Structure 1
Amino acid sequence: MATSALDRDALSDLLDGDPELIATLIGSFLDDCPDYMEGIREAVENEDGNALEREAHGLKGAAGSLRARPVSEAAQVLEEMGYEDNFAEAAAALDTLESEVDRLRDELQALRNACQEAIEE
C-alpha cells in the first residue's frame, strides 16, 4: 500500500484542527502548485539548474507546510538535481513528482470539501 499523500493528523495538529485555516492553506497550495510545476517542467526541459533548484525548493516548502511528505521529498530530489546541475535522471524524477502531485491534489480537494462542510455546520 502506498504512503498517504498527506499526513492529515499532523496538518490538523499544526493548525489546531481549524477547518477554515486548513481550507485556506489548501486553497493557497492548489493555486500555487500549477505555477511551481510549470516552472519545474520548463527548467527540466531547458536544463536550467538554477530555475529547477528555485522552483523545486518552493514546491518542497509549500508541500512541507501541508505535511505532504511524498511531494516534498520528490521535489527535494529535483531541487538537488538543479543544485548539482545534473539532469541525467530529471525526466524520471519529474514523472515521480507529477504522480505525487496528482495524488496529493485529489486528497487535498477531498479534505477541503470536508473542511467546507464543517465550516457550514
Structure 2
Amino acid sequence: MATPPVDRNALVELLDGDPDLVVTIINSFLDDCPSYMGAIREAVEDEDAETLKREAHGLKGATGSLRAQPACEAATVLEEMGRSADFTEAESALETLDHEIERLKEELNALKAECQEASGS
C-alpha cells in the first residue's frame, strides 16, 4: 500500500489541533506550490543545477513541514540532483514529484474542507 501523501494526525497535532491554523498553513502551501513547481520544472529543462537545488530544497522544507513524506522525499531526490548537477534521471524524478504533489494537493484540499467544516468557516 502506498504511503499516504500526508500524515494528517502529525500535521494536526503539530498545529495543536487548531482547524483555522491548519487551513492557513494549507492555503499558504497551495499558494506557493505552483511557483516551486514551475521553477523546478524550468531548472530541469534548462539543466540549471543551482536553481534546481535551491527550489527543490524550498519545496522539501514546505512539504516536510506539512508532514508530507512522499512529496518531501521526491523533492529531496531533485535537490540532490541539483547538488551533483547530474540530470540523468531528472525527468523521471520530476514526474514522481508531480505525481506526489498532485496526491498531496488532493489530500490537503480534503483536509482543508474538513477543518473548515469543523471550525464553521
Q: What are structure 1's unaligned runs of at least 5 residues?
A: none
| Map of 1:87 onto structure 2 | 87
2: CA distance, partners of 1:81 / 1:35: 19
Instruction: Determine if the alignment matches structure 1 residue 100 to structure 2 residue 88.
Output: no
Q: Which amino acid aligns with 2:94?
A: L
Output one character per residue of 1:75-95: Cα deviation in whole Å (capped at 9) or x when no partner. 000000001000000000000
TM-score by length of 1: 0.98
How much has 1:17 moved relative to structure 2?
Answer: 0.6
| Map of 1:46 onto structure 2 | 46
1: CA distance, partners of 2:81 / 2:66: 23
Task: Report % sequence identity.
Answer: 63
| Map of 1:71 onto structure 2 | 71
1: CA distance, partners of 2:63 / 2:119: 23
Q: What are structure 2's unaligned runs of at least 5 residues?
A: none
Instruction: Determine if the alignment matches structure 1 residue 33 to structure 2 residue 16.
Output: no
| Map of 1:57 onto structure 2 | 57
2: CA distance, partners of 1:28 / 1:70: 19
Q: Which amino acid aligns with 2:16?
A: D
How much has 1:12 moved relative to structure 2?
Answer: 1.0
Q: Which amino acid aligns with 1:115?
A: C
User: Helix, strand or coil: the match of 1:60?
Assistant: helix
Q: Which amino acid aligns with 1:88?
A: T
Output one character per residue of 1:56-90: Cα deviation in whole Å (capped at 9) or x when no partner. 00000000110000000000000000010000000
User: RMSD across aligned C-alpha pairs, in angstroms?
Assistant: 0.8
Runs of 4+ in 1 over 6 A off after TM superposition: none
TM-score by length of 2: 0.98
Output one character per residue of 1:26-65: Cα deviation in whole Å (capped at 9) or x when no partner. 0000000000000000000000000000000000000011
How much has 1:119 moved relative to structure 2?
Answer: 1.1
| Map of 1:21 onto structure 2 | 21
How much has 1:13 moved relative to structure 2?
Answer: 1.0
